[in-house]
Amino acid sequence: MRLTKHTKISPVILKKCKVHNTINILSGRSATYAMFSNLTSSPHEDYMVFSDIKMALNEMAIHLPYKMDFTQIISESIILTNEYWEEIVQSYSGLFEVGNDGPPIPLRESANPMLSFNKEEVTRYYEYFGYEVAVDRQWESDHLAIELEFIHFLCQGELGSEDALSFQLAQKDFIDRHFILWLASINHKIKGLDVHPYWIEIFSALYTFIQKDLEWLTTQTKYLKETI
Amino acid sequence: MKKYNPEMDRIKNEMKVDYFPPMSRRKFLSASGLAGLGLMLKFSPLKAATTPDRPYRRFEDVMRNKFTWDKVARGTHGTNCAGNCAFNVFVKDGIVWREEQQGEYESTDDTPDYGPRGCQKGLRHAKYMYGNQRILYPMKRVGKRGEGKWERVSWDQALTEIADKFIDVVEKEGPESISWGSGTQMSVKMASYAALARLVNITGVTVPEFYSGVGDLPTGVYTTLGKVYVGDTMSAIYKSKCVLVWMSNPAVTRIPDAHFFWEAKYNGTKVISISPEFTPTAMHSSLWVNPKPGTDAALAMGMVHTIIDEKLVNQEYIKEQSDLPFLVRMDTKKFLRKEDTSIVSTLAVEDNIFYLWDKKTNQAVIAPGTGLTDPPPGRDRRKYGTIDLGNIDPVLEGRWTVSTLDGDVEVTTVFELLKDEAENFTPEKASEITGVSPEVIRQIARDFAQAQPAMIYAGYAACKWVHGDLLQRAFVLLLSLTGNIGPEGSGLQISNSPKVRGLMAFAFNGMGPATRMISATNWDYEQGNMKELTKNVYGEKLAEEWDEKYQKSIKEDWFPQYGKKGWKMGFFAGNNGANWRASGNKWRKDAFENLESIVAIVPDMGVTAHYADYILPVAHHYERADIMLQPRTPYVQILDAAVPPLGESKDDYTIVHDFAKMLEIRAKKRRMKVIRDNVDGKSVRRDFKRAYQQFTMDGKVKDVKDVIQFIINTTPGIPKMSFEELAAIGKVRVEGSNKTYYDKDAPYHSEIMESVNEKRPYETLTSRQQFYIDHDWFIEYGEQLPTHKEPLKIDGYPLRMMMGHARHGIHSMWRDDPLMLTLQRGEPDIYVNPDDAKIRGVKDGDKLRIFNSGGEFFAMAHISAGIQPGMTFMYHGWDPMMFKDRQNFSAVISTSGLIKPTSMAGDYGHLGYKVLAYAPNQTYKDFTCDFEKVQSA
């Protein structure tokens, strides 16, 4: 079964889902978080070849329980990474890493003072679920890419756990508390800047994905709570 | 224990879950396409996800272990608040979550203890250090200078390019065309400063010295006492019976120590706050006295008049300790010297042998302890004599005739001349100048003179007036007349400075001193053509006259001159140099922005970095190791790295180290020739191909902890222990600090105590506390004695603007912290008097344009009855980045060229250029301005 954008995930449908379908959904969501984690991390650190991911993106989209369209990202990415790599690296730095008053769009959650953010909460989530950030990355453990990877990690944890509800509730809460407002703010800000459309595409797609995933998780956890 | 679940195993097998090791982005994405299902972690070393020990149901569940930590490090804030507050720094998963005051301090004698120490800024740092203002990567300018466009570059690229430019300038213009300005952020951290001092000594670049450069050098104190660093521990306040808190606001600027004032007050001490504006300190004091801005010296002289008039002078003290009984010729206004009275050998130096009038023999006699010559290097001059009067009973008042080589001349005492000068400042006359009632002047003079002991607690504000030296000389005079230099609980409390022998030993080890250090005031005057600024703002006559004296001082070699070929490259480390220049836009436009290369080495973004070509990120307070000494508290404080430096930032030592290494690499690659340099007449051979080898002492110094250990081992007064031992406890009491003052074993011991208690000569021309300076320039300007001179103003602008250190920042650090801003008004504000506001139609909260002929800036009106009419007040430290057009209050401060001639005097005993002792301050107060409401569009 494939869920579309307009599909309402009813408890009945979920109840009828076979394990295989649940796993496909999980794997699709997991991989999508992993993908966005990579797309939002610094290109200074390793090389990105987007032509490789066309198939992966399509595969992820198929497995997601709601409709997502990554076509635009794919087409932008292929052109840019093949021909304008330096521009991508520089534009990433100029947007997210360096700037006169700090980067215009800081990707560390704590660098956004208007979010009323509790940085410690992020680390306590990590600690609770056993997610460890590499020592040289701990200072930026609230970086968007790392937080997205954490959701990927939770998806994988859910896959191997008998307590799916814990993982799903954690995903839902974390997304709600840390991504929704922040990504809305990023999307708003980035559209007001003179930036390469590629970054607008990425964050627009990410924000759409996050909203849909939260909606899906909300329904899913409600159902699971009822069935326990 | 988890239950075995065959269903999950089946699922895992079915999905062929691969737990990939961390992989490159390319591999990840390919893998996603092929498998798409595995745990692929880029930011974590984990190989598998696990199930939590407890079920998760709501977000509060994760916070149940909130108060658990991986470690608690010892640390402090290596900034120039002089607090040196011991903190515990709590770390979890490589993040600093919070800090707490360490609080385990001892008391001294029967005084209150020092702990806990800290303020809201320090307690906010765990959040601030992760703020958006942090610079995390080396950055290279890609747009126009100041445009704000940056590119992240690698350390290797940045250092290579900077080293090449460095060598280019050195080969073309010589090393003195490069400045390496350090600041208080650097200097308070001894190991960092030692490393920089070593690098500049190796390379020969010019160091514009910031102490006088920011107007903090107490030259008036040096002029009088021959020492610039005076001051005891803060607990000395408790021992005082009357404290004049003068031009200082410790309730705001000395938050960890202000309790000593209030505890003393409850113990019976009279705490008198003297400031034009009503400060938080004044609020808690026994009495607040508010002279008009810039008239403090008139107030002091009014007090001097009362003390003399009402015979409250401690005559025995001043006869022995001061030059007040010394004889002065009435014809020349010069001291009577031995060379006046007899033909001297051409080899003898007898212009420093002075006379007293002895009551017993009724004749002029040589003052004991005068006529000292310079001892051999390394020997203490003061051990060659004594100021003990023996059988002499000097007369303080009278006029006599003595025979000289010029014939009979009339002589009198300095004290008599002082009485004449004080007549110009009777309380009534002083009242007309200061606005303070004559009776209040008399009363505080009596309170001060009759309290034993009494002290003057002053910050650096006096140094920031053109004639602030006169005020400081008056401070010391008040203390001396009442016998209040020496006894516990007395004295002038500004700030001491440690004798960090180890720091200099590290800097010069194996090489000897070959450093070019000059006051930033002089550097700016020449490189920014500040004579032109003075001419434009204060008129040609003043500019020409003072410049003539300046040039004469240089010509006579009283003061050095560097950078004759111009300023080409500037390094700014540990300071925000483009923030505090007192020259409106002139320094920035005519000097700073014209540099070929600017390198800012800073932890946070600010205006200096804004204009830089390269920004090198520095580790913040909890990310580095260092050692600190601050005289206010008798403790050595350690900084230990609680967490690694954020991003790619590095501590100052490592940056200097890496630069030395790159300099050597590039010099070798370019086959750079040895430079034959000359510093102040000393030949120096500089070989940059050995820069790194020299810097590391042939590899012996490996990291900053080696430097710290070097300093511990070689600095007297620091208990000998390893860095690790010190890091474990955080702080340790310095030796020689059993009393509220420092004794000989302490790193801050003041030789003035020996002068008072052991009658050792002072390091002044007269070997005494010297209130009379008979240098030609002092006589020409009528400044032989402490006196009051009207501060300068800008014609047509009626309001004085006063400034002071802020509660919510240490200079520009933490000034932009979001929480701190919410505790204020969220943006820069200027305090104005209600009547001044009303005249101009201004309401509280209005946007103001503050202006004079020098420039303009914008700030919010903060109407306060605590501000006198005719003045405004602004807390300093607001970075220009926080203002419209990136222009802060320095737009209206045009005082950088006001170098008063007497501050460049030389060839006179102790007067003449002396690093960190006698140099002209950059001043910030002698101007006026006006304000108006900005009409909204």
CB contact (8 A) between residue B56 and residue A23: no
| pLDDT on residue B787 | 98
| pLDDT on residue B3 | 37
CB contact (8 A) between residue A98 and residue B37: no
Mean pLDDT of B449-461: 96
* Structural domains for chain A: 11-227 (1.10.3480.10)
| pLDDT on residue B342 | 77
What is the per-residue pLDDT across B629-647, written as a single tens digit (0 to 9) for each?
Answer: 988 899 999 999 999 999 9
Query: What region does B487 belong to: left with phi over 0, alpha with psi -120 to 50, or beta?
Result: beta
Task: Identify the top-confidence range among B123-127, B320-324, B346-350, B573-577.
Answer: B320-324
B 676-715 residues with CB < 8 A to A: none
Please state, in angstroms and rounded to a whole number, the distance separating the CA atoms of residues B358 and B335: 16
| pLDDT on residue A75 | 72
B130 touches chain A (CB under 8 A): yes
| pLDDT on residue B212 | 93
Q: Which CATH class is domain B799-933?
A: mainly beta
Is pLDDT of B22 > 70? Answer: no
Complex ipTM tops 0.90 = no
CB contact (8 A) between residue A132 and residue B647: no
Please state, in angstroms and rounded to a whole number, the distance separating the CA atoms of residues B358 and B395: 6
| pLDDT on residue B377 | 57
B 776-835 residues with CB < 8 A to A: 818
Q: How confident is the model at residue A54 (pLDDT cuts 50, 70, 90)?
A: low
Is pLDDT of B20 > 60? Answer: no
- Helix, strand, or coil here: B212? helix
CB contact (8 A) between residue A135 and residue B644: yes
B5 touches chain A (CB under 8 A): yes
First to last CA, chain A: 24
Is pLDDT of B33 > 50? Answer: no
The pTM assigned to this predicted structure is: 0.92
Residue from the list A140, A149, A163 with its beta carbon closest to the beta carbon of B51:
A163
Query: Residue with structure tokens 């290097």?
Result: B377
B19 touches chain A (CB under 8 A): no
Ranking A173-177, B276-280, B374-378, B530-534 by mean pLDDT, the lowest is: B374-378
| pLDDT on residue B119 | 95
Query: What region does B923 belong to: left with phi over 0, alpha with psi -120 to 50, or beta?
Result: beta
Q: What is the DSSP letter of A179?
A: I
State the pairing for strand pair B95-101/B87-92: antiparallel
| pLDDT on residue B435 | 98
Q: What is the DSSP letter of B337?
A: B
Q: What's the residue count for chain A?
A: 228
CB contact (8 A) between residue A98 and residue B39: no
Q: Write out chain B residues lying below 8 Å of A106, CB-based.
A: 132
| pLDDT on residue B348 | 52
Distances in Å between the alpha carbon of B508 and those of A136, B394, B511, B683, B708? Answer: 36, 46, 5, 15, 15
Is pLDDT of B27 > 60? Answer: no
Structure tokens at B667: 């010099």
Q: How confident is the model at residue B452 (pLDDT cuts 50, 70, 90)?
A: very high
CB contact (8 A) between residue A31 and residue B36: yes
B357 Cβ contact list (under 8 Å, min separation 6)? B325, B327, B363, B364, B365, B394, B395, B398, B400, B411, B413
Residue from the list A111, A141, A145 with its beta carbon closest to the beta carbon of B132:
A111
Please state, in angstroms and rounded to a whole number, the distance separating the CA atoms of residues A167 and A190: 31
What are residue A171's DSSP bridge partners?
none
- Helix, strand, or coil here: B569? strand
Size of interface A-B (CB pairs under 8 A): 246
Distances in Å between the alpha carbon of B504 and those of B25, B65, B193, B194, B909? Answer: 50, 48, 10, 7, 25
Parts of chain B belonging to CATH 2.40.40.20: 799-933
Is pLDDT of A44 > 80? Answer: yes
B 418-447 residues with CB < 8 A to A: none
What is the per-residue pLDDT across B889-909, written as a single tens digit (0 to 9) for each?
Answer: 999 999 999 999 999 999 999
Chain A: give the shortest CA distance to residue B97, in Å.
Answer: 7
Please state, in angstroms and rounded to a whole number, the distance separating the CA atoms of residues B478 and B256: 28
Q: What is the mean pLDDT of chain B?
A: 92
What are residue B244's DSSP bridge partners?
B272, B456
- Helix, strand, or coil here: B100? strand
CB contact (8 A) between residue A173 and residue B59: yes
Is pLDDT of B144 > 50? Answer: yes
Is pLDDT of B7 > 90? Answer: no
What are residue B674's DSSP bridge partners?
none
Ranking B7-16, B711-720, B772-781, B916-925 by mean pLDDT, the lowest is: B7-16
Q: Could you give the angle at which helices A19-39 and A144-159 cross, rounded to 10 degrees?
A: 160
CB contact (8 A) between residue A123 and residue B92: yes
B219-314+421-493, superfamily in CATH? Dimethylsulfoxide Reductase, domain 2 (3.40.228.10)
| pLDDT on residue B222 | 97
Closest CA to B321 of B212, B220, B396: B396
Residue from the list A27, A134, A139 with its beta carbon closest to the beta carbon of B95:
A139
- If one counts every other C-beta atom within 10 angstroms of the C-beta of residue B702, the result is 11
CB contact (8 A) between residue A124 and residue B63: yes
3-state secondary structure B634-698: CEEEEECCCCCCCCCCECHHHHHHHHHHHHHHHHHHCCCCCEEEEECCEEEEECHHHHHHHHCCC
Chain B: give the shortest CA distance to residue A224, in Å.
Answer: 12
Q: How confident is the model at residue B344 (pLDDT cuts 50, 70, 90)?
A: low
What is the per-residue pLDDT across B537-572, written as a single tens digit (0 to 9) for each?
Answer: 999 999 999 999 999 999 999 999 988 889 999 999
B 81-120 residues with CB < 8 A to A: 92-95, 97
| pLDDT on residue A13 | 35
Q: Write out chain A residues lying below 8 Å of B49, CB-based.
A: 129-131, 153-154, 156-157, 159-161
CB contact (8 A) between residue A111 and residue B24: no
Q: How confident is the model at residue B26 (pLDDT cuts 50, 70, 90)?
A: very low
Q: Write out chain A residues lying below 8 Å of B42, CB-based.
A: 37-38, 41, 145, 149
B278 Cβ contact list (under 8 Å, min separation 6)? B288, B290, B864, B865, B866, B867
Q: How confident is the model at residue A101 (pLDDT cuts 50, 70, 90)?
A: confident
Is pLDDT of A53 > 70? Answer: no
What is the per-residue pLDDT across B817-845, written as a single tens digit (0 to 9) for each?
Answer: 989 999 999 999 999 999 999 999 999 99
Q: How confident is the model at residue B64 (pLDDT cuts 50, 70, 90)?
A: confident
